[in-house]
Amino acid sequence: MKIAIYPGTFDPITNGHIDIIQRATALFDKVIVAVATNPQKKPLFTAEERMDMIVHVMRNYPQVEIDQIEGLLVDYAKKRNAHAVIRGLRAISDFEFELQMALVNRKLSEQLITVFLMPHESYSYLNSSIVKELAMFGGNIKCFVPDYVVQQLRKKIK
Ligand code: ADP
């Protein structure tokens, strides 16, 4: 069984993330979406809220599991018997940081392979911060996130 981990902050999950998860399910038997509790980022949503949104929007994908990740990715991958880490590459600007992460992770665990997937071009400019900013100023975010996430954002910002 081929298992991949897709780690991220997902604050909140966007259509870009969903695009990547869907592509990953075509390659792996199981995709674990791992919600990171990154101390450097100050998320708008709690880890539980972020997980709840992913559970809700991915409920029709039996291959997808949602979990929380606290420590090192390589340790988590070993624990879960995962072969690969999935990362999304939107633009050249993602590349430098992603390359650094991939090479450090490879140094820590030679067996763990980082797989980069490109989203549909209509999501290549999308990130969670833009969605939050638009939501705060009353912009239309319906084409960027699922309806459930629109509702949760509205509730949070109120
Ligand atoms: P960010 O890196 O924007 O803070 P996350 O930590 O949630 O967001 O991202 C997790 C992974 O998802 C990263 O590999 C990131 O490049 C990828 N990702 C985020 N938004 C998109 C998108 N619109 N299209 C494709 N991949 C994306």
- Express each pLDDT in 23-80 by its tens digit: 999 999 999 999 998 767 789 999 999 999 999 999 999 999 999 999 999 999 999 9
Number of structural domains found in the chain: 1
Amino acid 28: pLDDT? 98
The CATH number for 16's domain is 3.40.50.620
The model's confidence at residue 150, banded by pLDDT at 50, 70 and 90, is: very high
Query: Ligand 1 pocket check: which of 85, 123, 127 to mutate, most ligand atoms within 8 Å of Cβ?
Result: 127
- Ligand 1 within 6 A of CB of 15: no
d(CA 152, CA 78): 33
Q: Give residue 153's domain range.
A: 3-157
- Ligand 1 within 6 A of CB of 132: no
Q: Is 5 within 8 Å of 77 (Cβ atoms)?
A: yes
